Amino acid sequence: MKIEYRKAETSDAEALINIYNSAFYSDYIRYGECPAYGRTKEMMEKSIIDYP
């Protein structure tokens, strides 16, 4: 398998949301909150733009 590293683009927002939600779901359930879980598409797009 080939792994490619590149800067995220706003078109990647939905894929990143799925990755974040999968990775941080257990923290959200355990602690009742997790800043990386449950982001909206707009929130993720802003994050990609602000923190490339």
- 9-51 pLDDT tens trace: 999 999 999 999 999 999 999 999 999 999 999 999 999 999 9
Q: Rounded to whole angstroms, what are the CA distances from 32 to 26, 35, 37, 42?
A: 9, 10, 10, 22
Let me know if residue 5 belongs to a domain. Answer: no
1 domain residue, yes or no: no
Q: How many distinct structural domains can be found in the chain?
A: 1
Distance CA 37, CA 18 (A): 9
Copy the structure tokens of residue 28: 């959200």
16 located within any domain: yes
pLDDT confidence of 7, banded at 50, 70, 90? very high
- The answer to the question of residue 17 being in a domain is yes
In the chain, helix, strand, coil percent, each to 5?
A: 60, 0, 40
- Binned at pLDDT 50, 70 and 90, residue 52 comes out as confident
> Domain range for residue 33?
10-50
What's residue 40's pLDDT?
Answer: 97
